[in-house]
Structure 1
Amino acid sequence: MTHNTQPVVIIGGGQSGLAAARAVRNAGLRPLVLEAGDRPVGSWPRYYDSLTLFSPSQYSSMPGAPFGGNPDHYPTRDEVVAYLQGYADDLGVEIRTGTRATAVEAYGAGFVVHTDAGDSIPTGGVVAATGSFTNPYVPVLPGRDGFTGQTLHVADYRNPAPYVGQRVVIVGAGNSAVQVGYELGQVARVTLATRAPLLFLPQRQEGKDLHYWLETLGFDELPSAWLARLITGVPVLDDGVYSKAEAAGVFDRREMFTAFDGDKLVWADVEREQVDVVLFATGYRPSLEYLSGLGALDSDGMPLHMGGISLTHPGLVYVGLEFQRSFSSNTLRGAHRDADYVVGPLAAHVAGAASVLGA
């Protein structure tokens, strides 16, 4: 089989993988999407029950598929799942669900992708679009292994029912930490442990959602290097509910604790407090373990890339990395821009490899 008949393998069937499939298809190549889950909707069904997008429908769409409904509506988790399923159905590309990529090996000018079903798929190009949800980040803190309470990451949180009446500390200062803290604060005593005060950013300014201004002013597409200079702290989008809730004591905020001690936390002021649950809303790292034997990752498992294009293997590209090229890189509204960007060099590599082989 030559490179012009082989598919381009896209690993991951969430929003980034679907955006990549569209770009690969539009480049005249044949995409094959491998999705470990039972539906091509990525990690969305596994997020907490009450999750809503922080951007309204009109700023949460992928190319050629408006979200539908009220453009100012903030879609729920389940609405996003239904939207992605519909998008996948309309793409007209091959998607294999229930298929997990286990390894990628270099083979000539291309690759072979191995799956948990025992398949070995030759390809001229690979798009790594697996996101990060399956690789939650939890910081190393003294005494955690001996903590007798419960610890979990927000990836494993679903709803407040198991935590009624408990003492809960949430580690994190971002949108998820505040959204979950607000929800838990209705049934439990909740503190957000952070290294800096919460930074609330008004959801609407001059009658327009913040995303209107991000798009109008071009902030959505600013290069990541510029963002590092402009953004200080972790902004939390707020329509007024969360800041009022903090002021009313629905949840409070304390300086990050320094250690675990049995069933207690040691706060920065050395006070020890018994705690039932510590929930980490501390983000994620890219889920790229299938590339570990390829030599495409650094010692921390992070991809060696520039703008989503591998620095180690021509024909390997990424879509869906946080701040890959811009503020919106790993979002519904922004993944397609990165997909279009990386598929250009990928298509050139596939064509060049086919030419060398006389295809």
Structure 2
Amino acid sequence: MTQHTDVVVVGGGQAGLATGYHLRRQKLDFVILDADPAPGGSWQHMWDSLHLFSPAEHSSLPGRLMPAQPGETYPDAGHVVDYLSDYEKRYGLPVQHGTRVEAVCRGADRLLVEADCGTWQARAVISATGTWSRPFLPTVPGRSAFTGRQLHTVNYRSPAGFAGQRVVVAGGGNSGAQTAADLAQDGQVEVTWVTRHPPRFLPDEIDGRALFDVATARRRALDADRDDTGGVASLGDIVAVPPVRAACDAGLLSARPMFARLTATGVRWADGTHATAEVVIWCTGFRPALSHLAPLNLRGPRGHIPTDGTRAVGEPRLHLLGYGDWTGPASATLIGVGRTARDAARAIAQLP
């Protein structure tokens, strides 16, 4: 059965919900199709100790302030899930959970959205699938030879199950630092943290709100053809959230250079040094989950879909939202996605 609507939003996490809020303000008919069976987006899959970088009042979607979490300056992931669930209900957003979109194709005068439970015809589509479902694993010599366990950030929850084991955490970003700190502070895990470049911790006073302001200033400078300010990357790579700072202060969090290869029993550096390990956790980031857009043939030479703001250059009825700075300054954050969601909704409302 084919259904008709003005807009189909693919993804019901923070970007999809912010989009729904603004589509409703534009009085557009829409549906949000979300593969997860429950509300909360990727936050419901995060590791147990994860906390936001910013206080609740600076981590809100449009129209609804996130309430403070009692006893916590920086809310944890469970609090974010509760907030997103409440947001969805508060605004009566038409989210169909447990619905996986398989393809977006061009029809005669509309876009066709093919899902596992039917097809929608829409004037426009907003892709807001994020990156969590597409973890990136680097090509490293010997990876297939390692006989221990290899996990990615998406598989890590807590130190439980790692007691007495030697664990290598690979990755110099926030997830790598937080995972290494989590394991090291447990006291029952021998942790080796490796990074490609020496880790750069942001000043203690920098939180998510400041990062949003810096990213926004950089985008405005680039749009005005002024010099590149460097944005967040000019400040550092890792936010010193309290658990990470505590691990650093206790001497538990020091990074070694990235190893050259994996062996059957561990990792080996270029100088021949070897460390035995039972587990390697790859905190090596993600790629945009865009396979559903493949039929539109929009990818450039490097697999990137060119955009003008959030609008796909090669298909003006398609908008991409929440994947990072290339779809709007800080658009992959709770505080940053609202502005780009508003702009996308306004642009769609003006379509013929």
Instruction: Specify whether residues 277 and 138 from structure 1 end up closer, same or farther in structure 2 by C-alpha distance, changes over 3 A only.
Output: same
Please report the TM-score for the alignment, with normalisation by the length of structure 1.
Answer: 0.88
Inter-partner Cα distance in structure 1 for 2:269 and 2:179: 21
Inter-partner Cα distance in structure 2 for 1:304 and 1:210: 30
Q: Are residue 221 (structure 1) and residue 223 (structure 2) matched?
A: no
**What is the letter of the counterpart of residue 272 of structure 1?**
H
Q: Are residue 251 (structure 1) and residue 253 (structure 2) matched?
A: yes
Look up the match of 1:103: 103
Deviations 1:325-353 (A, max 9, x none): 5542111111111111222322222xx1x
RMSD of equivalent CA atoms: 2.3
**What is the letter of the counterpart of residue 291 of structure 1?**
L
Matches within 5 A, 1:258-269: 258-269=260-271
Instruction: Specify whether residues 228 and 291 from structure 1 end up closer, same or farther in structure 2 by C-alpha distance, changes over 3 A only.
Output: farther
Inter-partner Cα distance in structure 1 for 2:209 and 2:157: 30
Inter-partner Cα distance in structure 2 for 1:9 and 1:212: 30
Matches within 5 A, 1:192-203: 192-203=193-204
**What is the letter of the counterpart of residue 196 of structure 1?**
H
Select 1:210's aligned residue among 207, 219, 231. 207
Inter-partner Cα distance in structure 2 for 1:227 and 1:343: 29
Look up the match of 1:275: 277
- Alpha-carbon deviation of 1:133? 0.2
- Structure 1 unaligned runs (5+)? 353-359
Aligned length: 340
Look up the match of 2:225: none
- Alpha-carbon deviation of 1:75? 0.9
Look up the match of 2:157: 158
Look up the match of 2:13: 14
**Would the aligned equivalents of 2:12 and 2:32 in 1 still touch at CA under 8 Å?**
yes
**What is the letter of the counterpart of residue 113 of structure 1?**
V
Deviation above 4 Å: which 4+ runs of structure 1?
211-215, 227-230
**What is the letter of the counterpart of residue 287 of structure 2?**
R
Look up the match of 1:43: 42
Look up the match of 2:325: 323
Inter-partner Cα distance in structure 1 for 2:128 and 2:65: 22
Please report the TM-score for the alignment, with normalisation by the length of structure 2.
Answer: 0.89
**What is the letter of the counterpart of residue 193 of structure 1?**
V
Look up the match of 2:298: 296
**Would the aligned equivalents of 1:20 and 1:340 in 2 still touch at CA under 8 Å?**
yes
Instruction: Specify whether residues 98 and 299 from structure 1 end up closer, same or farther in structure 2 by C-alpha distance, changes over 3 A only.
Output: farther
- Structure 2 unaligned runs (5+)? 223-227
- Alpha-carbon deviation of 1:170? 0.9
Percent identity over the alignment is 33
**What is the letter of the counterpart of residue 150 of structure 2?**
T
Q: Helix, strand or coil for the counterpart of 2:133?
A: coil
